[in-house]
Chain A
C-alpha cells in the first residue's frame, strides 16, 4: 500500500565518441520507459545480487557464497562502470554522440512497497495520513540510493541536483539542498517541493524524508531547520538547543564555513541507524529526542549530533574516491568529532573515550584476527559488522597524527570549497573526492612531514601490537632495566618497530623516555634521576607540575620508582600487559592524574586483592575530584576484590558505608535521601554503586542478606518528588542491581518451579519486579528503561531456575508495536532462551521475525544477537542443527535479504557462527572425497570454488589472500559491502592492460526525482524484484589507476530483456512480461563487456544545470496517467523487470 512513482533525468556528457550504452544502478524500481533525447531507448535490467548463487546448487559453504557474491556485486559496480540497468542509446543518436553532444536520459519508474531504500511508517490508527503521523524516509547501508531511484550509485560520481517531490498537502518533504519553492498542484491537494543542490554531490548522499513534520527553525541559526514528528516539538526544542555550539566549534576549528547553505535535521521513527548523514541534511532516530528531565540520554544525543555534523564536512561534502579511501573520511570526521568531545565533555571524557575505542579495536582484532577465515572476510562484505571498531581505530590513527593532519584538513576543505564554487569546470570536481594518496600528499604539502611509515604500519597492515612489559631496578647502576617483549605470532597481531614512549614516575618527578623498539632488542636501560633514598620532607612533583604529598611507606625502600607507564599517549594500537608491584599500581591509581592511567591501574588491581588495594579504591571512590567514570569502574573492581578477600574482609559489605555516607540521611542512615540529581557525578555514582554491590557474594556464594535488604530499601525509600530530573535510569539500575544479586537456585532434581518453592528473598525481588513492570504500564518511563531492566531480571530469574523458564512473556514484548528498546531486550531474552533450552520453536520464531518484521533495525539486531549468543556452534553437536535450518539460512542470505545489505551480512555472519566456513556437517555429503578433504583442512580455501574464481589470475595461497583481506577489513573499512579484496586483486590481474586509463567517469546528473508519497495502493506485488547489489571493486589507489571493467561475466546466467524501440511502452512491457513468465527469451548476454569501455569513456564536462524543467513539468502530469494506464493495462507489468531466475 506504500508506493511512489517518479522519473529521473540525467544529463550526460559523453567523453568518448562512440557512447552507445549507458549503465545505471537501479534496484527494485519498476521502470516503465527510458528515453534518450526524447527517443525511446531499449533497456535491459538485470540484478545478479537478487539471488547470489543461482541454480539451486548443493553448495552450502561460505567460500562458495562469498565468491559468487563478489562476482555479483562487481557485475553491477558503478565504480567499474557497471550497473543493473543497461540502456542502449538509440542508433539515431550515435552520430550525435560522435560529436560528443549532451545526452539526456529520461527514466520513468515506480516503487511499490519497497523493501529497502525507503521505509514507510504508517501507524495503524484512525485518521488521515498526517493525523496518524505516517512518514517515509530513505535509508541504506552505504551506497543504497539505487534502491529508490535509478542513478550512478557511487560516492565518486558527483553531479548537481534538482529534486522535486510531490506530496500530500499535509506533508513536508525534506531533502538535500535548498528548498527553492513549494507549489500546490492544480487540485490544491498536493504540494510540490522543489529542491536545488548546486554543490556537486554523489548519489549515495541524497536522501529524502516525508511526513507531517513539525518545523522548528533553529533560534540561533536560521538556516538550520529541525523536523520532528507531531507532538514531539517540545522535546525537539530542548534537544536541539545546543546544536549551534557544535556548528561554531567545527567552523572555528576548521576555519571554514559549513559548506552547504542550509542544514536540516529530521527525526523519524523506526530508524535504520541512529544517525545518517546526507548532503545538507541528517536523518536521526526519533528516540534520540529527550526532555530536560533526562540526564543519561543528553550526552548520547549530543554525541550523535556532533558525529552527524562532522560527517557533513567529511563524508558528504568531501566524498571519497574509492572504497579503500573510506577510512580517511571516517577518520577525519571521527577525529574532529573527538575534538568536539574534548572541548565539550572535557579531556577526561575524551581520553576515556579514546581508551574505550582502543580497547574495542584490540579486543576485536585479537578475537577475530586470529581466526583468519572469519566470516568477516568470507562474506567479503561482512566487514561492516565490525564497522564500529575500524572507525575507532581509524579515528585513533587520526589522533596520533593529529598535529600533522590538522592543517591538512584546512587545506582540503578550502580546496574543496574552491572547487565547488567553480563548479563549471568539472575537472575541479575531483578535488571534492578524497583518496588515500591524495590525503597523504596533502599532509606532506601542508605539514612538510612524511607520515609514510605511520601509514604503512597501521593502514597497510592489519593487526595490533601486543606488548608485555616487565622491569627490574638495578640499584648499583641506578638504572631501570625495562624489558618489552612483543607477541606478534598470535592472530590479529603485528610486529611493531619504532619509537615508543615510556613514562617513569620517580620520587623526584616524572620523566618521559623514548625508546626505540627494534628487531631484537628486548631490554632497555633507563637511567633514573632520583636517588633511592627517600626525602620525606619533599613533595613529589607529578607530570602535570602538581606537587603532592605521598605516603611512601608502602614502597620498596631501595627503589625510587613509583610507577611506570608504557605508551601513555596511546599513540600505538596496542595492548600492554605490564608487570609492576601492587603498590605501584596503587600509587598510580591515587596520584597519576591521567584517567587512562587510573583505569589501567584499576584493572590491574583486580589481581591484587589486598587491604591496600581496597583502601586505594575506597579513597578514589570518595575523591569527588576524580573522574566519575573512574570511580564507577572502581566500584566494580572493589566488588571483585571484596569477593576475593571474602574470608578476611572486615566491616560492613564493601561500599555500603560509603554509600550511606554519601547518599543517605544523616539522622537515619538506613534511609536514602530524597533524590536530587543536580550533581551528575554523584548521580552516576549513586546509580552504579548498588549495581556493583549486588555482585558481592558471601561464603555460600550468595548475595549477602545485608546487601539485598539494602537494595530493597533503596527501592522502597526512593523518592523523586522533589527532583528536577527523572529517576527512570536510576530505578532501572536498581532493578539491574536486583538482577545482579541473583544466584542459581538450589534445585532438587530438576523439579518444576512453583510459587511455593520460591525462595523468600527471591520472592521479595520478584514482587518488586512485578510492581515495577506493572507500574510501567500505567506511567511509562522514558524509553521504557524500567521495562527493559525488568525483562532482563525476569530472564535472569528463569535462567537461575527460580521461576519456570518460559518464553511466552518475552514473545509478547517482542511484538511489533512496543518501543524498540523493549523489543530488543525481549528478543535478547529469547535468543538466550533459544540457546539455553535448545528450543527449535523459538529459533524458528526468531528467524520468521527476521524475515517479516517491519523494522529493519530489529531484524538486524536479531541476527546479530543470534550470532553473538548462538544456539549452537560448529564445534558442538546440536539437535537444532539440521538440513532444513541450513537451507533456510542459506535461502535467507542468498535471496531473502537482497533488499538490505546489512541484513545479508548479518545472515552470513550467523551462518558462519553456526556452521563455519565449510559445508555444514549436518548435511549429507554430496561429493565425498572433496568435502572430507575440506573438513580436514579448514584453513584452506575450498578447492571447489576455484573454478568460480576465474582462471586467469595468479592463484594466491589462501593464507595470503585472507591476510590481505583482513587488512582492508580492519584498516580501511570499505564498509558498504565490499567484495573480497582478493577477488579485486585478481580481477586487476586479469584486466587487459590495453584498456586506457580512465579519466574519471562523468556525468552530470540532474535527476529530477518526483514522488507521490505516500500513496495507498491495493496492488500486491512481490517486491522480490528488488535486487540487492553491492557496488564495489577493490582499488588500492585512486581512480586513475582503475582498470576498466574486467571482461568476465559472473558465472550466472543472465537473462535479458531487450525492448524494441518501436513498440509502444505499455504494450511492450506486457509482452516482455509474458515472455518472461514463460521462461522464453533467455539471452546469454555476452556482449556486455564490449560496451563497458564505451561507457567508461564518457567524457566529463561540466555544465550548468539549466534546462530540464520544461520537460519535467510537462511530463509530470502525464506521468501519473501513464502509470496508472500501465498498471491497468498489464497487471503483470510489475514483473517485467524481475529477473527470471526468481521464478525458478
Chain B
C-alpha cells in the first residue's frame, strides 16, 4: 500500500477530481479504524479518527516525498525499494520490525479501495504536435512542456500587396487614427464649436495661446524629424558646418537637448568662449574679462 501510493498524487489536494481523492481518504479512514480495532478500541470519536487519518496521511506522504528525493538524488526517476528503506530509516523507523509486523496474526484484511480512474489532467490548450525527445536526450528526462507554451501561433493573413488597396488602406487607417485622436482630444479638453445648435457636431480643440509661440511654429516636429532621418539626408551644408566650425559641437549639444525647455542661463555662451579662442577669432567667443581691480574714481 505504501509503495503503491504516488506521493505526488496525494499532495495536491486541490485537484478537481475530488472523488478520486475522497475515495483514497475514505480508504485511509478504514485503515485507521481497522488498526484501532486491532488495538482493541471499540469506538472512537470522529475527530480522533480524523486526526489519526491525518497523521497517517502525512506520514505516508512524507515517506513518499523523501523516497522520491533520495531517488532523484541518485539521478534516477523512479524510487526503488532501497530508497524507501533509507527513507524509513531516516525517519527513525526500525525497518527490521516491518516483516514481523506484516505477518502479525490479528491483522485485518481490508478490501482494496474502489477502482477509480486517475484524473486526467485536462488539456487546456491543444496546439501543435507534442514534441518527443530528440535522439540524444535519454528518454527518462522530463518531457517537453505543452506545445502551447512555446510554439508560434500565426494569426495574420497574407498581406495584400495590391498598390491601390494598400494606399487605400493606409489612407483610411491614418484618417481613422487622426479622427479618433482628435475626437478624443476634443472630448477630453476644451472645445470650440462652429454651430450654435449642436455643439458637438464639429468639435474643434480650443485654441490655446502659448507663451513662446514661435518655437512650435518653427521647429520641425519629432515626426518630421523622424521622417527626415529615414529619408536620405546627408546635407553637405551640415557637414561643412561641423568641419569648419568646431564650436558647433557645443551648440549641437545644446540644440539636441530639446527636452530642456530653455537653455541654462548663459550656459552656452561662456563655454564657447573658453573653448574656441584658439580656433576662431570672433569677439563673441572671447572670454569675458574680469573687472579691473582698481577703477579710476
| Interfacial chain A residues near B218, Cβ < 8 Å | 232, 235, 286-287, 289-290, 782-783
At the interface, yes or no: B171 with Cβ under 8 Å from chain A?
yes
Q: Does A269 contact B (CB under 8 A)?
A: yes
In contact, B255 and A231 (Cβ under 8 angstroms): yes
A132 CA / B289 CA spacing, docked (Å): 26
Partner of B227, one of A235, A671, A723: A723
From A293, A766, A815, residue with most partner B Cβ within 10 Å: A293
A722 with B219: CB separation less than 8 A: no
The answer to whether A131 touches B265 (Cβ under 8 A) is yes
**Complex interface bits, B259-297 against A, C-beta within 8 A gives 1, otherwise 0:** 001111110110010001000111111101111100111
B202-A767 in contact (CB<8A): yes
- Number of A positions contacting B (CB below 8 A): 104
Distance from A732 Cβ to chain B, minimum over Cβ atoms (Å): 13
B241 CB contact (under 8 Å) in A219, A754, A774, A779:
A219
- For the complex, give the distance between the alpha carbons of A784 and B213 in Å: 10
Q: Chain A 1100-1119, CB within 8 Å of chain B: the 1/0 string?
A: 00000000001001100000
Could you say which residues of chain A place their CB within 8 Å of the CB of B14?
Answer: none
Contact status A724-B228, CB under 8 Å = yes
B-facing residues in A765-794 (Cβ within 8 Å): 766-767, 770-771, 773-775, 777-780, 782-784, 794
Q: Say yes or no: A1113 contacts B214, CB within 8 Å.
A: no
Q: Which of A191-232 contact B (CB under 8 A)?
A: 191, 212, 214-217, 219-220, 222-223, 225, 229-232
Q: Does A124 contact B (CB under 8 A)?
A: yes
Choose the segment among A171-179, A571-579, A1063-1071 that binds chain B (4+ C-beta atoms closer than 8 Å).
A171-179
A130 touches B265 (CB 8 A): yes
- In the complex formed, the residue of B with least CB distance to A182 is B288
Q: Check: B155 CB closer than 8 A to any chain A CB.
A: no
A262 CA to B218 CA, complexed, in Å: 28
Residue A127 lies at the interface, judged by CB distance under 8 Å to chain B: yes
- Cβ A753 vs Cβ B195 within 8 A: yes
With the chains together, A178 CA to B197 CA distance in Å?
A: 64
* Chain A residues in 8 Å Cβ range of B163: 665, 667-668
Interface readout for B34-51 with A: 1 if CB under 8 Å, 0 if not?
000000000000000000
When distances are taken between beta carbons in the complex, the residues of chain B under 8 Å from A170 are 265-266, 269
Residue A241, interface by CB 8 Å:
yes
Asked if B211 is an interface residue, CB under 8 A from chain A, the answer is yes
- CB atoms of A215 and B272 under 8 A apart: yes
A470 to B91, CA, bound (A): 129
CA distance A237 to B242 in the complex (A): 10
Q: B250 to nearest A CB, angstroms?
A: 10
CB of B245 within 8 A of CB of A217, answer: yes
A778's partner among B182, B208, B254, B291 (CB-CB below 8 A) is B182
* A744 on the B face (CB < 8 A): no
Q: Which of A217, A716, A812 contacts B247 (CB under 8 A)?
A: A217
Which residue from B181, B221, B247, B261 sits with its C-beta under 8 Å from A125?
B261
Task: Please give, as numbers and ranges, the residues of chain B lying within 8 Å of A66 by CB-CB distance.
Answer: none
Binary CB contact string for chain A from 251 to 273 against chain B (1 if under 8 A, 0 otherwise): 00000000000100000010000
Select B291's contact among A186, A235, A777, beta carbons within 8 Å: A186
A928 at the interface (CB under 8 A from B): no
B224 CB contact (under 8 Å) in A129, A293, A722, A774: A293
Is A721 positioned at the interface, with any CB of B under 8 Å from its CB? yes
Residues of A within 8 A of B213 (CB): 817-820
Q: Do the beta carbons of B295 and A1113 come within 8 Å of each other?
A: yes
A752-B170 Cα distance, complex, nearest whole Å: 39
- Chain B window 219-230, contacts with chain A (Cβ cutoff 8 Å), 1 for yes, 0 for no: 111011001100
Chain B residue numbers with a CB within 8 Å of A125 are: 211-212, 261
- Judge if A180 is at the interface, Cβ distance under 8 Å: yes
- Verify A237–B241 contact, CB threshold 8 A: yes
Q: Give the shortest distance, in Å, between A848 (CB) and chain B (any CB).
A: 17
Min C-beta distance of B218 to chain A, whole Å: 6
* In contact, B167 and A671 (Cβ under 8 angstroms): yes
When distances are taken between beta carbons in the complex, the residues of chain A under 8 Å from B251 are 214-216, 233
Contacts of B227 in A (CB 8 A): 720-721, 723
Q: Which of A767, A770, A784 has the most CB of B within 10 A?
A: A770
Question: B55 near A: Cβ within 8 Å?
Answer: no
Interface string of A748-769 (1 = CB under 8 A from B): 0000111100000000001100
Q: Which residue of chain A is the closest to B193 with respect to CB atoms?
A: A809
Cβ–Cβ contact B197 & A292, under 8 A = no
Closest CB of chain A to B238's CB: distance in Å? Answer: 8
Give the docked Cα–Cα distance between A753 and B198 (Å): 11
- Within the complex, which residue of B202, B210, B228 is in contact with A770, where a contact is CB–CB below 8 Å? B202
> Is A230 touching B263 in the complex (CB atoms < 8 A)?
yes
CA distance A289 to B220 in the complex (A): 11
B231 at interface (Cβ–Cβ under 8 A)? Answer: yes
A806 to chain B, nearest CB (A): 7
In the assembled complex, the Cα of A125 lies from the Cα of B261 at a distance in Å of 10
- Residues of chain B with a CB closer than 8 A to A667's CB: 163-164
User: Could you tell me which residues of chain B, from 176 to 194, have a CB within 8 Å of some CB in chain A?
Assistant: 178-179, 181-182, 185-186, 192, 194
Contact for A819 among B201, B214, B268, CB less than 8 A:
B214
* Bound: A597/B245 CA distance, A: 47
Judge whether B203 is part of the interface by a CB distance below 8 angstroms: yes
CB distance from B156 to the nearest CB of A (A): 22
Residue A133 is within 8 A (CB to CB) of chain B in the complex? yes
Contact of B233 with A by CB under 8 A: yes
| Closest residue on chain B to residue A813 by CB atoms | B207
Which chain A residues border B289 with CB–CB below 8 Å? 181-184
Report A679 CB to chain B, min CB distance, Å. 15
**A752 in contact with B212 given A179-B283, A293-B224 (CB within 8 Å):** no
Do A777 and B205 contact each other (CB < 8 Å), given the known contacts A782-B218, A1113-B295?
A: yes
With A215-B272, A293-B220, A784-B217: A808-B233 Cβ-Cβ less than 8 Å: no
Could you tell me the distance in whole angstroms from the C-beta of A763 to the nearest C-beta in chain B? 9
Q: Would A178 and B195 be within 8 Å (CB), given that A290-B218, A778-B182 are in contact?
A: no
When chains A and B are docked, how far (Å) is the Cα of A1114 from the Cα of B294? 11
Q: Whole-angstrom distance from the CB of B219 to the nearest CB of chain A? A: 7
The reply to whether B202 and A219 form a contact with Cβ atoms under 8 Å apart is no
Determine whether the beta carbon of A752 is less than 8 Å from that of B196: yes
Q: B248 on the interface (CB 8 Å rule)?
A: yes
How far, in angstroms, from A809 to B215 measured CA to CA in the complex? 23
- Answer whether residue B103 sits at the interface, using C-beta atoms and an 8 A cutoff: no
Complex contact B247–A752 (CB within 8 A): no
Chain B min CB distance to A536 (Å): 47
With both beta carbons as reference points, the residue of chain A lying nearest to B235 in the complex is identified as A292
Nearest residue (CB) in A for B194 is: A803
The reply to whether B232 and A191 form a contact with Cβ atoms under 8 Å apart is no
Known contacts A723-B231, A1114-B296; is-contact A808 B192 (Cβ 8 Å): yes
Q: Which residues of B contact A216 (CB under 8 A)?
A: 245, 248, 251
Among A292, A717, A766, A771, contact of B194 (Cβ-Cβ < 8 Å): A766
Q: What residue in chain B is nearest A285 (Cβ atoms)?
A: B214
Give CA–CA (A803, B280) in the complex, Å: 61
What is the minimal beta-carbon distance from B288 to any residue of chain A, in angstroms? 5
Q: Could you say which residues of chain B place their CB within 8 Å of the CB of A370? A: none
Contact of A233 among B214, B221, B238, B255 (CB under 8 A): B255
**B111 contacts the other chain (Cβ, under 8 Å)?**
no
B258 at the A interface (CB under 8 A): yes
Cβ of B237 within 8 Å of any chain A Cβ, yes or no, is yes
A92-129: which have CB < 8 Å to B?
123-125, 127-129
Cβ A671 vs Cβ B164 within 8 A: yes
Let me know if A220 and B244 touch, CB within 8 A. Answer: yes
In the complex, which of the residues A169, A754, A775, A778 contacts B197, with contact meaning CB atoms closer than 8 Å? A754
Pairs across A and B, CB under 8 Å, 21 listed: A125-B211, A125-B261, A131-B261, A131-B264, A131-B265, A170-B266, A182-B283, A183-B291, A219-B241, A222-B281, A232-B218, A293-B220, A665-B163, A671-B168, A771-B178, A777-B205, A777-B208, A779-B221, A782-B220, A784-B217, A817-B213
A668-B163, A724-B232, A774-B185 given; name 10 further pairs at CB < 8 Å: A130-B264, A131-B265, A172-B269, A182-B288, A214-B251, A230-B262, A241-B241, A719-B167, A766-B194, A812-B207
Q: Which 6 A-B pairs have the closest CB atoms?
A: A817-B209, A170-B266, A130-B265, A170-B265, A774-B182, A179-B283
